[in-house]
Structure 1
Amino acid sequence: MESKDLVSDDGRITYRSGVAARLAGLSPETLRVWERRYNLSNVERSARGQRLYSAEQVRRLSLLKQLVDQGHAIGVLAPMSVDRLQELAGAAAGRPKAAGPLKVGVVGANLARRIAASNRDGSDLVVQHSWSHLDQVALTSPLADVEVLVIELSELHDSALPLILSAARACDGAAVVVLYRFCASATIRALRAHACLAARVPADVGELLSLCRSALAGDRLPPAPPLPTSDLRFDEDALFNIMASGSGLACECPKHLADLLLMVGSFERYSAQCASRNEDDAQLHNELGRAAGQARVILEAAMERLARADGLPLPPGLIK
């Protein structure tokens, strides 16, 4: 059995990597990845070549784990001193923890509706204001009654950053959660640098509630033929109607298929925007977009068959 600690020649207690990982709340695999990618610690080695961690190094690992769990990026934290890590952790601990329902402002055509449909008792997230488009928020007078501003942008580009910051200012310093399906790493880093919590669109509102609480607590990638978008048969409204309507089927296939269509459609649009903004790889992005469009057409045909067979709501253009 692995001993808990070793005593070095100068009397200091050191820990083997497996023990150090457990004391810090990490898995040994995560510690190995962090060490390999970010060279976190200038550790000693035993006579047998085992990595040995001092108590101070274990404390540093524990602070890193705590801050990563709060939403900070390990790549940003890795070069920081222990004092700076402790300062960040202390600032987060000193913020009031959210309790009870959260008052939110939401940006996204269907987000408020999804929140309302998922709050069975209406007490988890209270939608104070909602907007269909991001640029509408800054036109509203200061909104002191919003604790968390939740912004959903399926295809998130850096061009949205000024509007996101303007919206945050209009909400009088509210915490900001930005949800996306596709986004460049550089844009995510820019959002985090402005204290925004950026995350993929969650599968359910329960996950969104956790994201909002984390954000409030401060816890913190030659032109081709046009893409086949004109034959869109199920827009986002139609898909959310299907997801909300329930099904006579014992499984949740309609919901899962609708979610797949949302993802594929979002990636199709995202690729089109990349192609128009980057001449160097426009052809590649057009090919990616066409592939996504072809997949969408196949999935839409399957969704239409499923909707007709199960009596699910169809968009007006498909009602016969």
Structure 2
Amino acid sequence: MELATSSTGPLYRIGAVSKTTGIPVSTLRIWETRYGAFSPVKTEGKQRLFEERDVSKAILLKQLSGEGHAISAIAGLALEALRRMSNLQRTAHPQLAPIGQPVSLAVVGLSMANRIESKKFVAGLKRHQIKVTNVLVDLEAASQAAFTDQPQVLLIKINTLQTPVHATIQALIQQHKFAQTIVIYNFATEAVVQAMKFSGLIVRREPLSDSELAELLQSVLFVDQARAQEFGTSGAVIASRKYSDETLSRVAGISTNVLCECPKHVAELISQLASFEQYSQECLNRNAEDAHLHAYLRSISGSARSLFENALEKIAAHEGIDLREGAG
């Protein structure tokens, strides 16, 4: 779809925008000339070239106008205002909201945000509702952003992965405490990819279909949100691992009097579940045919692992066990 680039990113012909959004060329022209929805760059030959933000806006205008908003009333709104309206619209109509809490998502990369916000993608999520709280152009913008509504998941689309990129992402996670971070990339060395996976990130290489991306997102969601909340876990998203294998091994070796071998058994279960969680994630990466099954298995094992981590915390508090990394 890309034709050229500007200082703000790639530029697209109106025909390419029409194909991507499903909006007729004639409608895009009306929205531009009559309602001032877009301000495309024009070549010397008077050809319109649209930015990525224009594609994002077109997708949201199509969605909101289809839900009853007059195009004359919303065409002049900024992209961020349209995104807020879209989130409110989904919340206001129960028939549009699947079972469970909305999954709040911060997206780095406008092209990825366009995919996430399309109706086709939302339909692929089946029971879950996505609420895009923040859309950032790139990692630099994300590093400087103030997230007023704390997103649960950070979804990053980046062309090339390098060690400094990994460091930037880690700093971002430390600052904002995302429950899960998913990185979609085009090019990277195996060493960097493995380092990112080892640090708890979910890393996938393009090309990735909308259905595969939907399965990837579903793999980080609690299977039974209501039951999870009963056991002290809030939110729809499974948190990343709290304890390393070293910490779990240390806890498993501690003898206690009151709870017999409960710390040992729970620590061993967490370690086994975490291993199967990672195994299921790798299967999800490799096998597109069985993606739904492996997304479910990853979600099941991750949900159980997170609940048992909460159980281990209760046991540790009762027994006076120090769960801090590196504690003796």
Bigger RCO of structures 1 and 2 (CA < 8 A, at least 6 apart): 1
What is the TM-score normalised by the length of structure 1?
0.34
What is the TM-score normalised by the length of structure 2?
0.34
Q: Which has the larger radius of gyration?
A: 1
